[in-house]
Amino acid sequence: MANILHIDSSPRGDRSISRSLSYEFVTSWKDTHPGDTVTYRDLGHNPVPHVDESWIAAAFTPPDVRTPELTEAIKLSDSLVDELLAADRYVFGVPMYNLNIPSTFKAYIDQIVRAGRTFTVGENGYQGLVDSSKKALIITSRGGTFPAGTPAAAYDLQEPYLRTILGFIGIIDVTFIHADSLNLGDTAREKSLAAAKSAIAQAVANW
């Protein structure tokens, strides 16, 4: 049995493409893996706070000497890191905003990328502390398209960033499913959605 951490980051509800596709994957996965458990977090509707000065002070203070105020300031982050580390696999629904990720998802990343908890710095540089055997599936929604090898690829700051930051903490097995071209007309939109749904079915079978 595996524990899946499923996170949505779109502020939209029923109109969200990334949310509907991540739900489709998780629902299909549960149908074929009924023994697995799913932990769900909705950052789009219940965002986590941004890092502030108290958080920074707490993160760089040893736990045994933190004041009650600092302990409280880092409490949510500790819970989010524990949740991340307890999961075996990750499913993230992430729309593209201004060529990158929503601020809700960036705030979450800032809460879980923690020195001494999810990464460390040693003689050989940075080292992720999350088990590298864990897998992540990231389902995105995009108004445009950014094919590799084209000039448009330079505008994709979403996938490269997510691959880098997840790899930084040790999650190196990352699969992307892009529902793109959503603002490029009905034909392009329907073709992309059909391709994304097909990729989801393949991921359920092979992930």
Q: Which domains does the chain show, CATH number per domain? A: 3-206 (3.40.50.360)
Cβ–Cβ under 8 Å, residues 182 and 141: yes
- How many helices, marked H, and strands, marked E, lie in the chain? 7, 7
Is 6 within 8 Å of 40 (Cβ atoms)?
yes
Q: For residue 195, give the nearest of 38, 40, 17, 44 by alpha carbon.
A: 17
Total-model pTM: 0.95
DSSP letter at 136 equals E
Q: Round the CA-based radius of gyration of the chain to a whole number and report it.
A: 18
Q: Which of 109, 128, 201 is nearest to 170 (CA)?
A: 128
pLDDT by residue, tens only, the chain of 207 residues? 899 999 999 999 999 999 999 999 999 999 999 999 999 999 999 999 999 999 999 999 999 999 999 999 999 999 999 999 999 999 999 999 999 999 999 999 999 999 999 999 988 899 999 999 999 999 999 999 999 999 999 999 999 999 999 999 999 999 999 999 999 999 999 999 999 999 999 999 999
